[in-house]
Structure 1
Amino acid sequence: MQPKIYTWLCLLLVWVSLPAWAASPRDADQALSAWQLPEAKRILEELETKAPDSVETLYLWARYDFYEGNYDQAVERLDQAIATAPRREFQELREIVASTRDVTKNYTKHTSPKGYFEIWLEPGKDEVLLPHAFEALDLAYDAFAEEIGYRPPTPVRVEVYPQTTTLAKVSILTEDDIRTSGTIALCKYNRLMITSPRATLRGYGWVDTLVHEYVHYVVNQKTHNRVPIWMHEGLAKFLERRWRGPDQHMLAPSSEHLLQKRVKANSLITFDQMHPSMAKLPSQEDAALAFAEVYTAMEYLREKAGPDAFERLLDLIAQGRDAQRAFAEVLGVPFQQFEREWKASLKSRKASAFPEESGFEERLVFKEEAESELKQMESPKARDHMHLGEIMQARDRFEAAVIQYQKAERIAGSHNPVLQSRLAHSLLALGRAEEAVSSLESSVEFYPSYVSSWINLGKAYAALSQWDKALEHLNEAARINPFDPEVHSEMARVYKAMGRTEDEAQARRFMTLVSAP
């Protein structure tokens, strides 16, 4: 037989004997990076059969275990891998996995009513988060199936951390990143990761934040992690309220105002500057601006391309299309043209009548940053009247307190939520519930994250025997700061009036839970 023919036949035999698709460590790495765990497991099982002693396969199995939440097994595999080959990436992963294992070792698992989510948290006070978390997440799972056309495998893992220091231990963020940017939650390592609102002074919109992170999860899963950060954050910001209903998206008035201010100053943040993470931006203001920008970009896309724009965009990216090209294709214009026209639309965006003179700054405040809320009043004269009102209120001299608060209001306007909540409190003590409602209307519109406004509105509507409205406002308070005992004591009172004995009992149980030292 001629040598060339013999060589060709040998190659043919090798080719015929190979499987149609041969797995490689790179394939497993890509599947893990895309959070396609069933596919990753199939590849790893094949790799293990071929090379059972491979340190690379051992490392990839450890990543798989980590993403599945099997932290003990992941650490064990990493220790074996490091003993054989002490590579830096092995050691870095072990550090995060071991920290996560240690943080969560006493956590308990709670499954949502529809079985879509598993929330892991410390036994005790954080259990008060479960009802509102489950409500929003289960609704979001079904809502995003309609909006984006994708249902991820269930259950989705959620972990709740008691402090920002804990979030820093189990992620790539530093404490400085968290405090500087106000980043208090992440979607990483195939899970949702959120800091409990008890780590903050006044709470924060933790329910919408949790859904925001779930949007990231769905987008990652559907597109195999091919979406750039600006697009990711734009979708998450636009859809974080989608669990409430189809047309509930909203940009906070303070964010609208900040956006207009920075447009006029020609100091917007570019999409490239948002990479690799909003958490790396230099201030809470810059992070808020970036979120406002990407929200309006997604709003622009949806208005121009229709209600199915997000689904079509993610479908194209999932098929392998470059994200910018996919965006341009759905919009129907080149991406550079979109950027020009979108920025032009920001200049003509309807101006918000935001009360800058109120002096209140809507930002994340951590417990150790506690200071007198009087500092949230800009005018010294108004601050003096508010302080006198507080003194009168503490002495149960509510008529005198109202007089002082109204004097402050005449100077500073009716928008400062600290002032208006104190005024409402004294009005309620005098039985003037309708006036209390009126006193809060403006401040709650402009500063919806100030929890006392919602509590006082709930109390006012309860005083007017408008039980459904009272419950609506108290639930909104719980979605900001469920660690305020008054939220639950007022809920218990409303449930009792409505004859809802089981709900009343739960509210009283939660009141006791959050009141404990």
Structure 2
Amino acid sequence: MKSTRRTRPATLALTAMVLASSTASGRLPLGDFDRATRAREAILEMELGAARAILDGADPSDPALTLEQARLLIYDADCDGAAALLARSDLAATREGAALGDIARGCARGTAATVVVEDQERGVWVRLQDDDDRGFVPLIADVADRVRAVLAKDLGVELPRPLRIDLVRDQHTLAAHTGLPLEAAQTTGTVAVAKWGRVIMISPRATTRGYGWLDTLAHEMTHLALSRGTRDNAPLWLQEGVAKREEVRWREPDPFDDIPPVDAVALLGLEKGLGRPLDKLGPSIAMLPTAEEASVAFAEVASFIRYWANENGDEALPQLLVRLKEATEPGDVDRAIAAVSGTDLAGWDKRWRSWLSTTRRDVPQELLPWGDVPNRKEVAKRLRLGDLLDARGHHTAAATQLARAQTLAPHEALARSGLTAALLAAGERGSALPLVEKVEDVHNRVARWWTLHGLLHGGDGPEADRAYANGIALDPLDAKVACEEKLAPELPRDPLRAGICEMARRTPR
């Protein structure tokens, strides 16, 4: 759940410098930079109607205005149109024109033969690279609508309608849409980016056991709200820290929301030398050298923002965003923080680190980014063998292998859920019950653990409903998870989850 961040020119002069780069025939004409800057600011605020009005009737020979027309088309999801404009030799010869051209062409390739599904009532527009993912759209629209309301309350920012979401097949397409280097996406495990006024995220179909796709959607929507609310002036630590805070506020709390505790990961990661100063994280957490450093960076910013927000109250973040909107130079960020909270970033960083040093350290090693599960290879072998035996109907033999894995890794949810399923299939319900009873017995999120917990311990009430919702939010293409352990043709009672169940049965990954 990571996002890159666009760099906004602070002055008209910088815009002029970008477009005045040399070409074989000489320098480009400077163009109407006042009008171009007003258009760009409207685009960054996602006020696309206002940007269209500003650019209406623009001289097509003006490179500054044409560049902003192309940017507007990218935000408007018309990548083919943007690519056509940016193919002009005068624009392609500039650094910004060339970069936008690469994005437009990559996006155009990735959106060829795509399908658009729009929920007009909720103001959500979803473009699918794979039509088999159509069953996700109603739940995406429902969650996006709920997230939009929470962001309006928490940040004072109302996201525009329609909210645009691209659901893509893989990290190659994600990189092509966004400009994030593919190697960086693969190194840090990036599954989504908020850029160009929309959320671009990988389909759960692309991953072996899914991922937290609904919380990821909320995380990336927060990035859009921060970009809109600050005219893209929010520094990276604020972007990522607030996004981590908001990604879970649209729903009821989950027992795993702070496992491992972000404060402990930040503290221990800093002590191990894996952390960085908040204002020295680089252009994107997704571009840090290792997954461990990225995890520590996320923990740092999440811990800091939680501390800062708790110290300053609910109104501090909306007030800070309003002040950042008018920032034009780096020092304005510190001045905005001090105006809202009484001291600058350096002062708050010192307070936070002092407080952080008093937090708990007793975290199991396997939960830390640099930690490892004991007996990992043996556990993996037993899990794989158990799954194969279970799939072939040898449930008792499968249970023997999975029990060995669960003994070696007693808190591993995958071992517990696999063993539970095998025992149930072998008719040993009594032995299966305790394996998925207490959430404190497991250290990681696994979709099947949740649905088996709902089946065996939730009854027909709210606890079962929460368990099934947690499962589908993690791995919606496992038919057992999506269908709440029901056999075909029985469907979940919730209509949104019933639709995903039908999709999972019809077109599994």
TM-score band (shorter)?
0.7 to 0.9
Shift of 1:132: 2.6
Equivalent AA in structure 2 for residue 317 of structure 1:
L
Task: Mark the CA change 1:228 to 1:400 in structure 2 (over 3 Å): closer, same or farther.
Answer: same
Q: CA–CA distance in 1 between the matches of 2:305 and 2:132?
A: 37
Equivalent position SS for 1:242? coil
Listed as ranges, the gaps of 5+ residues in structure 1 are 1-20, 363-375
Equivalent AA in structure 2 for residue 274 of structure 1:
L
Q: Residue 419 in 1 paired to residue 415 in 2?
A: yes
Q: Residue 64 in 1 paired to residue 72 in 2?
A: yes
Q: CA–CA distance in 1 between the matches of 2:185 and 2:420?
A: 34
Q: TM-score, normalised by structure 1?
A: 0.80
Task: Mark the CA change 1:378 to 1:328 in structure 2 (over 3 Å): closer, same or farther.
Answer: farther
Task: Mark the CA change 1:226 to 1:346 in structure 2 (over 3 Å): closer, same or farther.
Answer: same
Equivalent position SS for 1:118? strand
Task: Mark the CA change 1:29 to 1:474 in structure 2 (over 3 Å): closer, same or farther.
Answer: same
The answer to whether the 8 A contact 2:125-2:162 is kept is: yes
Shift of 1:507: 5.0
**CA RMSD for the aligned pairs?**
3.6
Q: CA–CA distance in 2 between the matches of 1:434 and 1:47?
A: 74
Aligned position for 2:5: none
Larger Rg: 1
Equivalent position SS for 1:92? helix
Shift of 1:186: 0.8
The answer to whether the 8 A contact 2:390-2:398 is kept is: yes
Q: CA–CA distance in 2 between the matches of 1:504 and 1:215?
A: 24
Pairs within 5 Å for 1:96-495: 96-112=103-119, 114-245=121-252, 250-253=257-260, 255=262, 258-265=265-272, 267-320=274-327, 322-354=332-364, 356=366, 378=375, 393=390, 398=395, 402=399, 405-406=402-403, 408-410=405-407, 412=408, 414-433=410-429, 435-440=431-436, 446-461=442-457, 465-466=459-460, 468-490=462-484, 493=487
Task: Mark the CA change 1:152 to 1:227 in structure 2 (over 3 Å): closer, same or farther.
Answer: same
Select between 506-515 and 66-75 the one with higher mean Cα deviation: 506-515
Structure with greater helix share of residues: 1
Shift of 1:89: 3.4
Select between 306-315 and 325-334 the one with higher mean Cα deviation: 325-334
Aligned position for 2:25: none
Q: CA–CA distance in 1 between the matches of 2:227 and 2:498?
A: 40
Percentage of pairs with the same residue: 25
Q: CA–CA distance in 1 between the matches of 2:374 and 2:317?
A: 42
Question: How many aligned positions are there?
Answer: 475
Deviations 1:94-148 (A, max 9, x none): 2321221222132222223633221111343222322331221100111111111
Aligned position for 2:16: none
Select between 343-352 and 250-259 the one with higher mean Cα deviation: 250-259
Q: CA–CA distance in 2 between the matches of 1:32 and 1:406?
A: 56
Q: CA–CA distance in 1 between the matches of 2:231 and 2:58?
A: 21
Shift of 1:480: 1.5
Task: Mark the CA change 1:493 to 1:507 in structure 2 (over 3 Å): closer, same or farther.
Answer: farther
Q: CA–CA distance in 1 between the matches of 2:283 and 2:95?
A: 21
Equivalent position SS for 2:360? coil
Q: CA–CA distance in 2 between the matches of 1:381 and 1:470?
A: 33
Shift of 1:469: 3.7
Equivalent position SS for 2:110? helix
Task: Mark the CA change 1:502 to 1:138 in structure 2 (over 3 Å): closer, same or farther.
Answer: closer
